[in-house]
Structure 1
Amino acid sequence: MASSTPQSVERALAMFDAVADAPGPVGAKELARRVGCSLSTAYHLLGALTARGHLTRTAQGYVPGPRVPALHRGYQRHLGVGAGVGELLVRLRRATGAQAYYTVYRGGLITVVDSTAPVSDTAEPFVPGPEIRAHATAHGKALLAGLPRPVRRRYLDEHGMARFTDRTITAADRFEAELARVRGQGFAVSVGEADPAYTCLAVALPGPRGDGSVHALSVSLATAEFRGRRGAIRGAVARAAAELVPEG
């Protein structure tokens, strides 16, 4: 199905995404090639993005602009993510020795909103942005377990249940049984289901919220390390989650 988005808007957004996802500055010629337009059109679109602060032009190429941090803050504000979440994640990181994450389901999408993982860590399995492996992650299980079954089924129908490792649950009935276990024990665990080297543990935060969203707090670390510290890590995550009160 053809997109109904005007071509100029589609191209500008594609350029913005390309720059955001790149490891360093991206030149106008490369951006024109990626989106399939002339160099003059690329400069026209890049000029608009630069004028609005979404991009900045440097001698090496285009980089994300000063408007980007404000977009992230606005996104968190609209989700009802409190100002102290970042500090809480840092404390949880110190308490567990594991990377900590704040994840949200809203409007049919699951997003990793914040993380303690360094932006330079290219091996990090969970990064801020859309979560496409929700059924294979602890935070995804915790969020999906908190949704009404019709909403959950619609999410899984739309996003699928791809196999990422030999531990990934891909059968709907088995996954429902897993979520029943999550609800019963109050936390979710994924042992090598999204990435064979990592285990993650998550808890859903108290609700309900007016916008129908579900929020979760989670950590991830090497599976070998998790096995010897499961109880302590579970306790630390539970204590951190108890500090968070819904704002939405």
Structure 2
Amino acid sequence: MTSTTPQSVDRALAILDAVADAAGPVGAKELARRVGCSLSTAYHLLGALTARGHLTRTAQGYVPGPRVPALHRGFQRHLGLAPGVGELLARLRRATGAEAYYTAYRGGLITVVDSTAPVTDTANPFTPGPEIRAHATAHGKALLAGLPRPVRRRYLDEHGMARFTDRTITAADRFEAELTRVRGQGFAVSMGEADPAYTCLAVALPGPRGDGSVHAVSVSLATGEFRKRHGAIRGAVARVAAELVPGA
């Protein structure tokens, strides 16, 4: 728990995170253990979360509730997603044979907003939600390259540049040179920098946006496949990115 967060709020959010991250329903006793509270406290918080629709109680345990999809839609609406994002990502997947993603930077955070990867594909390295490896991914590079340098430096200072593979760029000056190359060529590539088996390619979307956000579309696939078809893949991503104008 952080020093500025009321304990009950922090525990309720921790319960939500635990249920969302679980592979299946989670019982109250297990949630109490994970959160570090008494069973009676857990039941009190679970009751409030269930009443608001954030969780649902089943015979096997607690699962995400019917309010969750509305929260996601609200997030997308406030982000100003262009109409038809899901359809265009699906078209990009068909054209490239690679999973496609929509990502965005806003307010100091980078998020994978939407993806064609099945929700059951737990092996996929880029799942919807907060992106903590931006410096090692193509979509992160494309987004950071579009930010003013002071904003970009603040982001990297806050989130760091951890090494995930032997290809990960962790030096600030080398990363700045990489982003200069991204701006010059109009696309970003990460070959085994976040995951040794995958290459991803991203293109930032047309702007500008008044809220300071930057959006991008990307694909990821096995590195061997990328090497065989990188030209066609780059062209397909660029064509979809040209059609995805946030807030249009």
Quick check: TM above 0.5? Answer: yes
**Deviation sequence 1:79-99 (CA, Å, 0-9, x none):** 001231011100000000000
**Deviation sequence 1:197-230 (CA, Å, 0-9, x none):** 0000000001110110000000000000000100
Q: How has the CA–CA distance of structure 1 residues 73 and 2 changed in structure 2, closer, same or farther, with 3 Å as cutoff?
A: closer
CA deviation after TM superposition for structure 1 residue 246, in Å: 2.7
Aligned counterpart, 1:206: 206
Q: What are the residue-to-residue correspondences of 1:1-248 with 2, within 5 Å?
A: 2-247=2-247
Aligned partner letter, 1:6: P
CA deviation after TM superposition for structure 1 residue 122, in Å: 1.3
CA deviation after TM superposition for structure 1 residue 2, in Å: 4.4
Q: Helix, strand or coil: the match of 1:47?
A: helix
Q: Helix, strand or coil: the match of 1:37?
A: coil
Aligned length: 248
Q: For structure 2, list consecutive stretches of 5 or more residues without a partner in the other structure.
A: none
| Aligned counterparts of 1:155 and 1:10: Cα–Cα separation in 2 | 24
Q: Helix, strand or coil: the match of 1:189?
A: strand
| Aligned counterparts of 2:130 and 2:52: Cα–Cα separation in 1 | 24
Q: Helix, strand or coil: the match of 1:105?
A: strand
**Deviation sequence 1:151-176 (CA, Å, 0-9, x none):** 00000000000000000000111000
TM-score (norm 2): 0.98
After TM superposition, what 4+ stretches of structure 1 lie above 3 angstroms from structure 2?
none
Q: Helix, strand or coil: the match of 2:230?
A: helix
| Aligned counterparts of 2:243 and 2:2: Cα–Cα separation in 1 | 46
Report the RMSD for the aligned CA atoms in angstroms: 1.0
Q: Helix, strand or coil: the match of 2:11?
A: helix
| Aligned counterparts of 2:2 and 2:28: Cα–Cα separation in 1 | 26
CA deviation after TM superposition for structure 1 residue 56, in Å: 0.1
Which deviates more, 236-245 or 98-107? 236-245
CA deviation after TM superposition for structure 1 residue 37, in Å: 1.1
Q: Helix, strand or coil: the match of 1:201?
A: strand
**Deviation sequence 1:124-143 (CA, Å, 0-9, x none):** 00000000000000000000
**Deviation sequence 1:99-136 (CA, Å, 0-9, x none):** 00000000000000000001111110000000000000
Q: How has the CA–CA distance of structure 1 residues 2 and 68 changed in structure 2, closer, same or farther, with 3 Å as cutoff?
A: closer
| Aligned counterparts of 1:244 and 1:54: Cα–Cα separation in 2 | 31
| Aligned counterparts of 1:96 and 1:201: Cα–Cα separation in 2 | 11
TM-score (norm 1): 0.98
| Aligned counterparts of 2:164 and 2:67: Cα–Cα separation in 1 | 35
CA deviation after TM superposition for structure 1 residue 54, in Å: 0.2
**Deviation sequence 1:3-30 (CA, Å, 0-9, x none):** 2111111111100110000000000000
Q: How has the CA–CA distance of structure 1 residues 7 and 220 changed in structure 2, closer, same or farther, with 3 Å as cutoff?
A: same
Q: For structure 1, list consecutive stretches of 5 or more residues without a partner in the other structure.
A: none
